[in-house]
Amino acid sequence: MTLARILAVLLAGVVGTAVVMTRDIVHQALVFGLFGLVLALVFLLYQAPDAALAQVVVSGLVVPLLIFVTLAELRGRSE
């Protein structure tokens, strides 16, 4: 359990850094969704499965969707 927790927190650090290092904004939204799923795993391992459930939906679905729609709209206007 403790090992899984340490690994999950380290993974969150790695994926979080990957979000910052990703230059292309569309790719960044996808990596951010992945980061949200890793965070949900951390919540799960720290005995907060209900928070993990909400995290999956908000970070894996709603936030990337908002970013994609905004990008589609902005690119539509600039062309």
Partner 1 sequence: MSARSRDVRRRLLVFAVSGAVLGTALLAGLLDLAPATSAGSDLAGLLVDAAVEQRSPNAVSGVLFDLRATDTLGEALALFAASAGLQLVLRELPGEGRRHEPRRGAPGRSVPATSDAVRAAALALVVPTAVFAVYVTFRGHLSLGGGLQAGALAVTALALVFLAGRYRAQRHFAPDRQLDVLEAVSLGGYVLVGLAGLVVAGAFLTNVLPLGALGELVSSGTILALSFLVAIEAGAAVLLIVAEVQEEPLEREEPA
Q: How far is the CB of 79 from partner 1 (least distance, A)?
A: 5
Burial (0-12, 13-18, 19+ Cβ within 10 Å), 35 = buried
Beta carbons of 35 and 59 less than 8 angstroms apart: yes
The verdict on 65 binding partner 1 (CB under 8 A) reads yes
Shorter beta-carbon distance to partner 1: residue 14 or 58: 58
Q: Pick left, alpha or beta for residue 47 (phi over 0 → left; psi -120 to 50 → alpha; otherwise beta).
A: left
Shorter beta-carbon distance to partner 1: residue 31 or 40: 40
In the complex, the residues that contact partner 1 under the rule CB under 8 A are 5, 46-47, 49-50, 53-54, 56-58, 61-62, 65-66, 69-73, 75-77, 79
